[in-house]
Protein backbone atom coordinates (compact mmCIF):
# COMPACT_ATOMS: atom_id res chain seq x y z
CA UNK A 1 0.00 0.00 0.00
CA UNK A 2 2.57 2.52 1.07
CA UNK A 3 4.67 2.16 -2.04
CA UNK A 4 2.08 1.19 -4.61
CA UNK A 5 0.63 3.87 -6.78
CA UNK A 6 -2.76 2.25 -7.27
CA UNK A 7 -4.40 1.08 -10.43
CA UNK A 8 -4.24 4.36 -12.36
CA UNK A 9 -1.35 5.43 -14.56
CA UNK A 10 0.73 3.44 -17.00
CA UNK A 11 3.64 1.43 -15.56
CA UNK A 12 7.08 2.88 -16.19
CA UNK A 13 9.01 -0.35 -16.52
CA UNK A 14 8.43 -2.27 -19.70
CA UNK A 15 7.83 -5.82 -18.59
CA UNK A 16 5.70 -6.83 -15.62
CA UNK A 17 7.06 -9.14 -12.91
CA UNK A 18 3.64 -10.79 -12.93
CA UNK A 19 0.93 -10.55 -15.56
CA UNK A 20 -2.83 -10.66 -14.89
CA UNK A 21 -2.88 -14.47 -15.22
CA UNK A 22 -0.03 -14.85 -12.73
CA UNK A 23 -1.88 -12.61 -10.29
CA UNK A 24 -5.10 -14.60 -10.70
CA UNK A 25 -3.22 -17.88 -10.15
CA UNK A 26 -1.47 -16.52 -7.07
CA UNK A 27 -4.75 -15.31 -5.56
CA UNK A 28 -6.41 -18.67 -6.27
CA UNK A 29 -3.54 -20.46 -4.54
CA UNK A 30 -3.84 -18.09 -1.57
CA UNK A 31 -7.58 -18.79 -1.42
CA UNK A 32 -6.84 -22.52 -1.15
CA UNK A 33 -4.31 -21.89 1.61
CA UNK A 34 -6.89 -19.83 3.51
CA UNK A 35 -9.50 -22.56 3.20
CA UNK A 36 -6.96 -25.16 4.33
CA UNK A 37 -6.09 -23.19 7.43
CA UNK A 38 -9.68 -22.29 8.30
CA UNK A 39 -11.36 -25.54 7.27
CA UNK A 40 -14.97 -25.66 8.40
CA UNK A 41 -15.02 -22.09 9.54
CA UNK A 42 -18.11 -20.14 8.53
CA UNK A 43 -17.16 -16.81 10.03
CA UNK A 44 -14.59 -15.54 7.54
CA UNK A 45 -14.72 -11.96 6.36
CA UNK A 46 -12.35 -10.55 3.75
CA UNK A 47 -11.24 -6.97 4.41
CA UNK A 48 -9.39 -5.03 1.72
CA UNK A 49 -7.11 -2.19 2.76
CA UNK A 50 -7.91 0.94 0.72
CA UNK A 51 -7.00 1.60 -1.91
CA UNK A 52 -4.72 -1.08 -3.36
CA UNK A 53 -6.11 -3.97 -1.32
CA UNK A 54 -9.77 -3.39 -2.18
CA UNK A 55 -9.91 -4.94 -5.68
CA UNK A 56 -7.69 -7.81 -4.57
CA UNK A 57 -10.00 -8.49 -1.62
CA UNK A 58 -13.00 -8.59 -3.94
CA UNK A 59 -11.25 -11.11 -6.19
CA UNK A 60 -10.02 -13.22 -3.28
CA UNK A 61 -13.49 -13.29 -1.71
CA UNK A 62 -14.97 -14.48 -5.02
CA UNK A 63 -12.37 -17.28 -5.18
CA UNK A 64 -13.07 -18.26 -1.60
CA UNK A 65 -16.81 -18.39 -2.11
CA UNK A 66 -16.23 -20.59 -5.20
CA UNK A 67 -14.16 -23.04 -3.18
CA UNK A 68 -16.44 -22.95 -0.15
CA UNK A 69 -19.57 -22.95 -2.31
CA UNK A 70 -21.02 -20.30 -0.07
CA UNK A 71 -21.24 -16.54 -0.35
CA UNK A 72 -18.47 -14.71 1.44
CA UNK A 73 -18.55 -11.16 2.67
CA UNK A 74 -15.88 -8.73 1.53
CA UNK A 75 -15.58 -5.13 2.70
CA UNK A 76 -13.13 -2.25 2.40
CA UNK A 77 -11.28 -0.49 5.16
CA UNK A 78 -9.64 2.92 4.93
CA UNK A 79 -6.78 3.37 7.38
CA UNK A 80 -5.91 7.05 6.83
CA UNK A 81 -6.94 8.16 10.32
CA UNK A 82 -4.80 5.46 11.94
CA UNK A 83 -1.52 6.09 10.11
CA UNK A 84 1.59 6.92 12.14
CA UNK A 85 2.79 9.58 9.67
CA UNK A 86 -0.16 11.96 10.18
CA UNK A 87 1.29 15.43 10.49
CA UNK A 88 4.71 14.40 9.16
CA UNK A 89 3.66 13.55 5.61
CA UNK A 90 1.00 15.01 3.32
CA UNK A 91 -2.42 13.58 4.16
CA UNK A 92 -3.74 10.83 1.96
CA UNK A 93 -7.30 11.35 0.78
CA UNK A 94 -9.56 9.09 2.78
CA UNK A 95 -11.31 6.39 0.74
CA UNK A 96 -14.65 4.81 1.64
CA UNK A 97 -14.87 2.23 4.41
CA UNK A 98 -17.65 -0.26 3.76
CA UNK A 99 -16.88 -2.34 6.84
CA UNK A 100 -19.55 -1.34 9.34
CA UNK A 101 -20.45 -4.40 11.39
CA UNK A 102 -18.96 -5.55 14.65
CA UNK A 103 -16.16 -8.08 14.11
CA UNK A 104 -16.62 -9.99 17.35
CA UNK A 105 -16.39 -13.71 16.64
CA UNK A 106 -15.20 -13.25 13.06
CA UNK A 107 -11.99 -14.39 11.39
CA UNK A 108 -10.64 -11.52 9.33
CA UNK A 109 -8.55 -12.02 6.21
CA UNK A 110 -6.86 -8.66 5.81
CA UNK A 111 -5.80 -8.06 2.21
CA UNK A 112 -3.30 -5.55 0.87
CA UNK A 113 -1.40 -5.20 -2.38
CA UNK A 114 2.20 -4.70 -1.21
CA UNK A 115 3.76 -5.46 2.17
CA UNK A 116 6.71 -3.12 2.64
CA UNK A 117 7.51 -1.36 5.94
CA UNK A 118 4.49 -2.86 7.68
CA UNK A 119 3.21 0.54 8.78
CA UNK A 120 0.01 0.38 6.76
CA UNK A 121 -0.75 -3.06 8.19
CA UNK A 122 -0.14 -1.73 11.69
CA UNK A 123 -2.62 1.07 11.00
CA UNK A 124 -5.09 -1.44 9.55
CA UNK A 125 -4.87 -3.66 12.64
CA UNK A 126 -5.69 -0.71 14.88
CA UNK A 127 -8.49 0.38 12.58
CA UNK A 128 -9.92 -3.16 12.65
CA UNK A 129 -9.96 -3.21 16.42
CA UNK A 130 -12.34 -0.25 16.46
CA UNK A 131 -14.90 -2.69 15.03
CA UNK A 132 -14.73 -4.94 18.09
CA UNK A 133 -12.51 -7.93 18.85
CA UNK A 134 -12.21 -10.44 16.02
CA UNK A 135 -11.31 -14.07 16.84
CA UNK A 136 -8.27 -13.83 14.56
CA UNK A 137 -6.73 -11.71 11.85
CA UNK A 138 -4.70 -13.21 9.00
CA UNK A 139 -2.77 -11.11 6.53
CA UNK A 140 -2.77 -11.81 2.79
CA UNK A 141 -0.62 -9.73 0.42
CA UNK A 142 -0.02 -10.00 -3.29
CA UNK A 143 3.62 -8.91 -2.96
CA UNK A 144 6.02 -8.99 -0.03
CA UNK A 145 8.90 -6.72 -0.95
CA UNK A 146 10.81 -6.84 2.36
CA UNK A 147 12.25 -3.87 4.31
CA UNK A 148 9.99 -4.29 7.31
CA UNK A 149 10.17 -1.59 9.99
CA UNK A 150 7.76 -3.35 12.35
CA UNK A 151 7.61 -6.96 13.58
CA UNK A 152 4.91 -8.13 11.17
CA UNK A 153 4.67 -10.90 8.60
CA UNK A 154 2.08 -12.06 6.11
CA UNK A 155 0.26 -15.40 6.36
CA UNK A 156 -0.39 -15.69 2.62
CA UNK A 157 1.94 -14.20 0.05
CA UNK A 158 1.40 -14.06 -3.71
CA UNK A 159 5.03 -13.36 -4.50
CA UNK A 160 8.16 -12.57 -2.50
CA UNK A 161 9.91 -9.84 -4.41
CA UNK A 162 13.37 -8.65 -3.37
CA UNK A 163 13.60 -4.90 -3.98
CA UNK A 164 15.72 -1.93 -3.03
CA UNK A 165 14.14 0.72 -0.84
CA UNK A 166 14.28 3.27 -3.61
CA UNK A 167 12.17 1.25 -6.01
CA UNK A 168 8.41 1.50 -6.18
CA UNK A 169 6.23 -1.55 -6.56
CA UNK A 170 2.86 -1.43 -8.24
CA UNK A 171 0.63 -4.46 -7.72
CA UNK A 172 -2.96 -5.07 -8.74
CA UNK A 173 -5.20 -7.44 -10.64
CA UNK A 174 -3.59 -6.20 -13.85
CA UNK A 175 -0.10 -7.28 -12.81
CA UNK A 176 2.98 -6.41 -10.76
CA UNK A 177 5.67 -3.97 -11.80
CA UNK A 178 8.81 -2.51 -10.27
CA UNK A 179 9.23 1.17 -11.03
CA UNK A 180 12.57 2.92 -10.61
CA UNK A 181 12.26 6.10 -8.61
CA UNK A 182 12.88 9.04 -10.92
CA UNK B 1 -9.59 31.16 1.45
CA UNK B 2 -6.60 29.16 0.44
CA UNK B 3 -6.87 25.44 0.95
CA UNK B 4 -7.60 24.64 4.55
CA UNK B 5 -5.13 21.74 4.58
CA UNK B 6 -2.44 22.70 7.04
CA UNK B 7 -3.89 26.19 7.45
CA UNK B 8 -6.73 28.03 9.12
CA UNK B 9 -10.46 28.09 8.53
CA UNK B 10 -11.44 31.72 8.94
CA UNK B 11 -14.02 32.34 6.26
CA UNK B 12 -15.77 30.68 3.35
CA UNK B 13 -15.60 33.84 1.26
CA UNK B 14 -13.70 33.03 -1.91
CA UNK B 15 -13.73 29.30 -1.25
CA UNK B 16 -13.79 27.13 -4.35
CA UNK B 17 -15.57 23.91 -5.19
CA UNK B 18 -12.53 21.66 -4.83
CA UNK B 19 -11.78 22.93 -1.34
CA UNK B 20 -15.37 22.45 -0.21
CA UNK B 21 -15.61 18.96 -1.69
CA UNK B 22 -12.35 18.03 0.08
CA UNK B 23 -13.96 18.86 3.43
CA UNK B 24 -17.28 17.18 2.58
CA UNK B 25 -15.59 13.96 1.43
CA UNK B 26 -13.39 13.83 4.52
CA UNK B 27 -16.46 14.43 6.69
CA UNK B 28 -18.15 11.49 5.01
CA UNK B 29 -15.31 9.27 6.21
CA UNK B 30 -15.90 10.54 9.72
CA UNK B 31 -19.60 9.65 9.45
CA UNK B 32 -18.42 6.09 8.78
CA UNK B 33 -16.24 6.28 11.90
CA UNK B 34 -19.34 7.22 13.87
CA UNK B 35 -20.89 3.83 13.12
CA UNK B 36 -18.00 1.80 14.51
CA UNK B 37 -18.00 0.02 17.84
CA UNK B 38 -15.26 2.45 18.91
CA UNK B 39 -16.09 5.89 17.53
CA UNK B 40 -12.67 7.35 18.01
CA UNK B 41 -9.60 7.55 15.78
CA UNK B 42 -6.03 8.35 16.84
CA UNK B 43 -5.46 10.93 14.08
CA UNK B 44 -4.73 13.90 16.38
CA UNK B 45 -3.21 12.03 19.34
CA UNK B 46 -0.99 14.37 21.34
CA UNK B 47 -2.37 17.50 19.67
CA UNK B 48 -3.95 20.21 21.77
CA UNK B 49 -7.08 22.04 20.68
CA UNK B 50 -8.25 25.06 22.66
CA UNK B 51 -11.93 25.84 22.54
CA UNK B 52 -12.41 29.54 23.26
CA UNK B 53 -16.01 30.70 23.27
CA UNK B 54 -16.20 34.36 24.11
CA UNK B 55 -19.86 34.28 23.18
CA UNK B 56 -22.39 31.78 24.51
CA UNK B 57 -23.08 28.70 22.44
CA UNK B 58 -24.28 25.23 23.27
CA UNK B 59 -24.31 23.15 20.15
CA UNK B 60 -21.30 24.58 18.37
CA UNK B 61 -19.04 24.28 21.39
CA UNK B 62 -20.19 20.76 22.26
CA UNK B 63 -19.92 19.76 18.63
CA UNK B 64 -16.34 21.06 18.27
CA UNK B 65 -15.21 19.57 21.56
CA UNK B 66 -16.77 16.21 20.70
CA UNK B 67 -15.09 16.35 17.29
CA UNK B 68 -11.68 17.08 18.82
CA UNK B 69 -12.07 14.24 21.34
CA UNK B 70 -13.15 11.75 18.65
CA UNK B 71 -9.86 12.62 16.93
CA UNK B 72 -8.01 11.87 20.19
CA UNK B 73 -6.86 15.48 20.62
CA UNK B 74 -6.61 17.01 24.07
CA UNK B 75 -9.14 19.76 24.56
CA UNK B 76 -8.59 22.86 26.65
CA UNK B 77 -11.86 24.62 27.15
CA UNK B 78 -11.99 28.20 28.33
CA UNK B 79 -15.07 29.06 30.31
CA UNK B 80 -15.10 32.78 29.67
CA UNK B 81 -17.40 33.58 32.57
CA UNK B 82 -14.83 32.19 35.01
CA UNK B 83 -11.72 33.50 33.24
CA UNK B 84 -9.59 36.61 33.37
CA UNK B 85 -11.53 37.90 30.38
CA UNK B 86 -14.04 39.07 32.96
CA UNK B 87 -11.25 41.09 34.55
CA UNK B 88 -10.67 42.89 31.28
CA UNK B 89 -7.88 40.79 29.83
CA UNK B 90 -7.47 41.53 26.13
CA UNK B 91 -8.06 38.93 23.45
CA UNK B 92 -4.39 39.10 22.56
CA UNK B 93 -3.24 38.45 26.14
CA UNK B 94 -5.70 35.62 26.60
CA UNK B 95 -4.48 33.97 23.42
CA UNK B 96 -0.79 34.39 24.35
CA UNK B 97 -1.44 32.90 27.77
CA UNK B 98 -3.10 29.89 26.28
CA UNK B 99 -0.54 29.60 23.53
CA UNK B 100 2.18 29.30 26.16
CA UNK B 101 0.54 26.00 27.17
CA UNK B 102 1.46 24.59 23.77
CA UNK B 103 -1.38 24.66 21.31
CA UNK B 104 -2.00 23.18 17.91
CA UNK B 105 -5.39 24.70 17.18
CA UNK B 106 -7.76 27.34 18.48
CA UNK B 107 -11.49 27.13 17.93
CA UNK B 108 -12.75 30.66 18.42
CA UNK B 109 -16.22 32.10 18.87
CA UNK B 110 -16.28 35.85 19.36
CA UNK B 111 -18.82 38.64 19.16
CA UNK B 112 -16.53 40.82 17.04
CA UNK B 113 -16.38 40.32 13.30
CA UNK B 114 -12.80 39.58 12.26
CA UNK B 115 -11.70 38.25 15.66
CA UNK B 116 -10.45 34.97 14.25
CA UNK B 117 -8.42 36.73 11.52
CA UNK B 118 -6.82 38.79 14.26
CA UNK B 119 -5.98 35.72 16.34
CA UNK B 120 -4.51 34.02 13.26
CA UNK B 121 -2.16 37.01 12.99
CA UNK B 122 -1.20 36.83 16.70
CA UNK B 123 -0.35 33.14 16.53
CA UNK B 124 0.33 32.29 12.88
CA UNK B 125 1.66 28.80 13.61
CA UNK B 126 -1.48 27.78 15.49
CA UNK B 127 -4.35 26.61 13.31
CA UNK B 128 -7.29 28.94 13.88
CA UNK B 129 -10.82 27.77 13.25
CA UNK B 130 -13.55 30.37 13.23
CA UNK B 131 -16.56 29.10 15.15
CA UNK B 132 -18.51 32.28 14.48
CA UNK B 133 -17.28 35.87 14.57
CA UNK B 134 -19.87 38.60 15.00
CA UNK B 135 -21.93 39.10 11.87
CA UNK B 136 -19.10 37.97 9.62
CA UNK B 137 -18.74 34.21 9.14
CA UNK B 138 -19.57 30.83 10.63
CA UNK B 139 -17.69 28.58 8.21
CA UNK B 140 -18.31 25.20 9.82
CA UNK B 141 -22.06 25.90 9.83
CA UNK B 142 -21.93 26.62 6.10
CA UNK B 143 -19.95 23.43 5.51
CA UNK B 144 -22.26 21.26 7.57
CA UNK B 145 -25.32 22.72 5.85
CA UNK B 146 -23.82 21.88 2.45
CA UNK B 147 -22.82 18.45 3.75
CA UNK B 148 -26.36 17.77 4.98
CA UNK B 149 -27.94 18.84 1.69
CA UNK B 150 -25.51 16.68 -0.30
CA UNK B 151 -26.13 13.72 1.97
CA UNK B 152 -29.91 13.90 1.58
CA UNK B 153 -29.88 14.51 -2.18
CA UNK B 154 -27.37 11.68 -2.67
CA UNK B 155 -29.52 9.31 -0.61
CA UNK B 156 -32.53 10.15 -2.77
CA UNK B 157 -30.50 9.20 -5.82
CA UNK B 158 -29.28 6.01 -4.20
CA UNK B 159 -25.66 7.11 -4.22
CA UNK B 160 -23.19 8.57 -1.76
CA UNK B 161 -22.16 12.18 -1.43
CA UNK B 162 -18.56 11.27 -2.21
CA UNK B 163 -19.55 9.66 -5.49
CA UNK B 164 -21.64 12.66 -6.47
CA UNK B 165 -18.94 15.27 -5.74
CA UNK B 166 -20.57 18.66 -6.23
CA UNK B 167 -22.80 17.62 -9.12
CA UNK B 168 -26.00 17.60 -7.05
CA UNK B 169 -25.57 21.34 -6.44
CA UNK B 170 -25.48 22.32 -10.09
CA UNK B 171 -28.31 24.81 -10.49
CA UNK B 172 -29.86 23.77 -7.16
CA UNK B 173 -32.24 26.51 -6.01
CA UNK B 174 -31.35 27.54 -2.46
CA UNK B 175 -33.41 30.12 -0.61
CA UNK B 176 -32.15 31.90 2.49
CA UNK B 177 -34.90 33.46 4.56
CA UNK B 178 -34.94 36.14 7.24
CA UNK B 179 -32.36 38.28 8.93
CA UNK B 180 -29.61 38.05 6.32
CA UNK B 181 -28.11 41.36 7.37
CA UNK B 182 -26.99 40.25 10.83
CA UNK B 183 -26.35 36.64 9.99
CA UNK B 184 -22.90 35.10 9.80
CA UNK B 185 -24.59 31.82 8.92
CA UNK B 186 -26.13 33.47 5.86
CA UNK B 187 -22.75 34.77 4.71
CA UNK B 188 -21.12 31.36 5.08
CA UNK B 189 -24.07 29.54 3.50
CA UNK B 190 -24.16 31.88 0.51
CA UNK B 191 -20.41 31.43 -0.07
CA UNK B 192 -20.50 27.65 0.19
CA UNK B 193 -23.60 27.12 -1.95
CA UNK B 194 -22.30 29.46 -4.64
CA UNK B 195 -18.92 27.72 -4.65
CA UNK B 196 -20.75 24.44 -5.22
CA UNK B 197 -22.69 25.83 -8.17
CA UNK B 198 -26.13 26.46 -6.64
CA UNK B 199 -28.41 29.42 -7.39
CA UNK B 200 -28.92 31.37 -4.21
CA UNK B 201 -31.78 33.73 -3.44
CA UNK B 202 -32.34 35.67 -0.22
CA UNK B 203 -35.72 36.83 0.98
CA UNK B 204 -36.77 38.92 3.96
CA UNK B 205 -37.96 42.37 4.95
CA UNK B 206 -36.19 45.25 3.21
CA UNK B 207 -34.60 46.36 6.45
CA UNK B 208 -32.89 42.97 6.90
CA UNK B 209 -32.33 42.16 3.24
CA UNK B 210 -30.98 45.33 1.63
CA UNK B 211 -31.00 45.54 -2.17
CA UNK B 212 -27.16 45.76 -2.20
CA UNK B 213 -26.96 42.09 -1.26
CA UNK B 214 -27.02 41.35 -5.00
CA UNK B 215 -23.31 42.25 -4.77
CA UNK B 216 -22.82 38.89 -3.04
CA UNK B 217 -23.94 37.16 -6.20
CA UNK B 218 -27.42 36.32 -4.95
CA UNK B 219 -30.92 37.20 -6.08
CA UNK B 220 -32.89 39.39 -3.69
CA UNK B 221 -36.62 39.00 -3.19
CA UNK B 222 -39.23 40.34 -0.79
CA UNK B 223 -41.94 37.82 -1.69
CA UNK B 224 -41.69 34.76 0.51
CA UNK B 225 -44.60 32.82 -0.96
CA UNK B 226 -43.32 33.09 -4.52
CA UNK B 227 -39.81 32.23 -3.34
CA UNK B 228 -41.01 29.14 -1.48
CA UNK B 229 -42.40 27.82 -4.74
CA UNK B 230 -39.06 28.48 -6.43
CA UNK B 231 -36.87 26.90 -3.74
CA UNK B 232 -35.59 23.34 -3.47
CA UNK B 233 -33.69 24.07 -0.28
CA UNK B 234 -34.85 26.58 2.32
CA UNK B 235 -32.38 27.86 4.86
CA UNK B 236 -34.13 29.70 7.66
CA UNK B 237 -32.20 32.13 9.81
CA UNK B 238 -32.71 32.98 13.41
CA UNK B 239 -34.06 36.44 14.09
CA UNK B 240 -31.18 37.71 16.20
CA UNK B 241 -32.68 39.94 18.81
CA UNK B 242 -29.34 40.04 20.68
CA UNK B 243 -27.82 41.71 17.63
CA UNK B 244 -30.63 44.21 17.51
CA UNK B 245 -32.64 42.76 14.67
CA UNK B 246 -35.77 43.45 16.70
CA UNK B 247 -35.33 47.13 15.82
CA UNK B 248 -35.52 46.27 12.13
CA UNK B 249 -38.97 44.68 12.21
CA UNK B 250 -42.18 46.25 13.50
CA UNK B 251 -42.95 43.23 15.67
CA UNK B 252 -42.11 39.54 15.90
CA UNK B 253 -45.70 38.74 15.02
CA UNK B 254 -45.55 40.80 11.87
CA UNK B 255 -42.22 39.27 10.89
CA UNK B 256 -43.71 35.80 11.39
CA UNK B 257 -46.75 36.66 9.29
CA UNK B 258 -44.71 37.91 6.35
CA UNK B 259 -41.44 35.97 6.58
CA UNK B 260 -42.01 33.06 8.95
CA UNK B 261 -42.31 29.50 7.69
CA UNK B 262 -45.72 28.95 9.21
CA UNK B 263 -47.77 25.77 9.28
CA UNK B 264 -50.07 27.37 6.66
CA UNK B 265 -47.10 27.84 4.31
CA UNK B 266 -45.93 24.30 5.07
CA UNK B 267 -48.93 22.91 3.17
CA UNK B 268 -47.89 24.76 0.01
CA UNK B 269 -44.37 23.25 -0.08
CA UNK B 270 -43.35 20.64 -2.60
CA UNK B 271 -42.90 17.40 -0.61
CA UNK B 272 -39.22 17.22 -1.65
CA UNK B 273 -38.32 20.71 -0.45
CA UNK B 274 -35.71 20.65 2.30
CA UNK B 275 -35.97 22.98 5.29
CA UNK B 276 -32.92 23.85 7.35
CA UNK B 277 -32.27 25.92 10.44
CA UNK B 278 -28.93 26.44 12.17
CA UNK B 279 -30.53 26.64 15.62
CA UNK B 280 -31.39 27.73 18.13
CA UNK B 281 -34.88 28.08 16.67
CA UNK B 282 -37.32 30.80 17.64
CA UNK B 283 -40.35 28.56 17.29
CA UNK B 284 -43.36 30.60 16.25
CA UNK B 285 -41.19 33.37 14.78
CA UNK B 286 -39.12 32.24 11.78
CA UNK B 287 -40.32 28.64 12.03
CA UNK B 288 -43.51 27.02 13.32
CA UNK B 289 -43.47 23.86 15.40
CA UNK B 290 -45.27 21.98 12.66
CA UNK B 291 -42.48 22.85 10.20
CA UNK B 292 -39.59 22.15 12.57
CA UNK B 293 -40.98 18.70 13.28
CA UNK B 294 -42.09 17.91 9.72
CA UNK B 295 -40.48 15.52 7.24
CA UNK B 296 -39.07 18.54 5.38
CA UNK B 297 -36.92 19.51 8.33
CA UNK B 298 -33.23 18.58 8.39
CA UNK B 299 -32.58 20.26 11.72
CA UNK B 300 -31.68 17.08 13.60
CA UNK B 301 -29.41 15.93 10.79
CA UNK B 302 -27.67 19.28 10.77
CA UNK B 303 -26.84 18.89 14.44
CA UNK B 304 -25.69 15.29 13.97
CA UNK B 305 -23.50 16.23 11.01
CA UNK B 306 -21.83 18.98 12.99
CA UNK B 307 -19.45 16.50 14.61
CA UNK B 308 -18.11 14.74 11.47
CA UNK B 309 -17.81 18.03 9.56
CA UNK B 310 -15.87 19.62 12.43
CA UNK B 311 -13.71 16.49 12.70
CA UNK B 312 -12.87 16.95 9.01
CA UNK B 313 -12.01 20.62 9.53
CA UNK B 314 -9.80 19.92 12.56
CA UNK B 315 -8.13 16.98 10.83
CA UNK B 316 -7.43 18.80 7.59
CA UNK B 317 -6.17 22.01 9.21
CA UNK B 318 -4.11 20.48 12.03
CA UNK B 319 -2.74 17.41 10.23
CA UNK B 320 -2.95 18.64 6.65
CA UNK B 321 0.47 20.27 6.52
CA UNK B 322 3.44 18.62 4.93
CA UNK B 323 5.17 17.98 8.23
CA UNK B 324 7.17 21.16 8.59
ipTM of this complex prediction, to 2 decimal places:
0.86
Domain residue spans in chain A? 20-179
Residue B38 to residue A100, Cβ atoms within 8 A:
no
- CB of A77 closer than 8 Å to CB of A16: no
A interface test, pick of B36, B127, B313, B316 with most A CB neighbours within 10 Å: B36
What pLDDT, on a 0 to 100 scale, did the predictor assign at position B235? 98
B contacts of A86 (beta carbons < 8 Å) = 43-44, 319
Mean pLDDT estimate for chain B: 92
Q: What is the 3-state secondary structure of chain B?
A: CCCCCCCCECCCCCCCHHHHHHHHHHHHHHHHHHCCCCCCCCCCCCCEEEEEECCCCCHHHHHHHHHHHHCCCEEEEEEHHHCHHHHCCCHHHHHHHHHCCCCCEEEEEECCCCHHHHHHHHCCCCEEEEEEECCCECHHHHHHHHHHHHHHHHHHHCCCHHHHCCHHHCCCEEEEECCCCCCHHHHHHHHHHHHCCCEEEEECCCCCCCHHHHHHCCEEECCHHHHHHHCCEEEECCCCHHHCHHHHCCCHHHHHHHHCECHHHHCCCCCCCEEECCCCCCECCCECHHHHCCCCECHHHHHHHHHHHHHHHHHHHHHCCCCC
What pLDDT, on a 0 to 100 scale, did the predictor assign at position B94? 86
CATH fold of the domain at A20-179: Rossmann fold (3.40.50)
Cβ within 8 Å of A, B 157-216: 160, 162
B contacts of A95 (beta carbons < 8 Å) = 29
What pLDDT, on a 0 to 100 scale, did the predictor assign at position B1? 43
A contacts of B28 (beta carbons < 8 Å) = 96
What pLDDT, on a 0 to 100 scale, did the predictor assign at position B86? 65
What pLDDT, on a 0 to 100 scale, did the predictor assign at position B96? 87
What pLDDT, on a 0 to 100 scale, did the predictor assign at position B323? 56
What pLDDT, on a 0 to 100 scale, did the predictor assign at position B101? 85
Q: Where in chain B is the domain with CATH 3.40.50.1370?
A: 17-137+306-319, 139-303
Q: What is the CATH number of domain B17-137+306-319?
A: 3.40.50.1370
Instruction: Divide the 182 residues of chain A into consecutive groups of 10 and give the mean pLDDT of each group.
Output: 47 77 98 94 94 97 95 95 92 92 95 98 96 96 97 98 94 93 62
Facing residue for A81 by CB, picked from B25, B33, B35: B33
Q: What is the CATH number of domain B139-303?
A: 3.40.50.1370
Residue B29 to residue A90, Cβ atoms within 8 A:
no
Q: What is the pLDDT of residues B104-157, one digit of tens each?
A: 999 999 999 999 999 999 998 899 999 999 999 999 999 999 999 999 999 999
For residue B81, how many other CB atoms are within 10 A of its CB? 8
Tell me the shortest Cα–Cα distance from A92 to chain B, in angstroms. Answer: 9
What pLDDT, on a 0 to 100 scale, did the predictor assign at position A5? 45
- CB of B234 closer than 8 Å to CB of B259: no
Q: Is A132 strand, coil or helix? A: strand
Residue B25 to residue A94, Cβ atoms within 8 A:
yes
> Could you say which residues of chain B have pLDDT below 70?
1-2, 81-84, 86-88, 243-245, 323-324
Residue B40 sits at the chain A interface (C-beta within 8 Å)? yes
- CB of B49 closer than 8 Å to CB of B105: yes
- Strands B105-110 and B219-221 turn out to be unpaired
What pLDDT, on a 0 to 100 scale, did the predictor assign at position B81? 63
Residue B323 to residue A100, Cβ atoms within 8 A:
no
What pLDDT, on a 0 to 100 scale, did the predictor assign at position B202? 98
Tell me the shortest Cα–Cα distance from A15 to chain B, in angstroms. Answer: 34
Amino acid sequence: MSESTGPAGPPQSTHPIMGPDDVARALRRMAHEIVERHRGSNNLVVVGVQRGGAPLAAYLAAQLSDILEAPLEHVDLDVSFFRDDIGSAPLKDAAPTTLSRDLRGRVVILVDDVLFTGRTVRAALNALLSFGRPDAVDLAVLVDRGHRELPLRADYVGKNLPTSREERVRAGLDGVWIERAS
Amino acid sequence: MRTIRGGHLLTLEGVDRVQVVDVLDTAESFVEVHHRTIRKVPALTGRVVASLFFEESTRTRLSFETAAKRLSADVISLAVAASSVKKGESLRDTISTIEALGLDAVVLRHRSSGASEQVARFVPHVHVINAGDGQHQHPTQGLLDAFTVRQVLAERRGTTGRESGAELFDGLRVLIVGDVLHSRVARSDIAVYRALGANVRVVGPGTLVPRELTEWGVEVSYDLDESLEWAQVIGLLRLQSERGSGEFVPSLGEFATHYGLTSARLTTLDPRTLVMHPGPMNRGVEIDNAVADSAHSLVTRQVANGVPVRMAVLYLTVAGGDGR
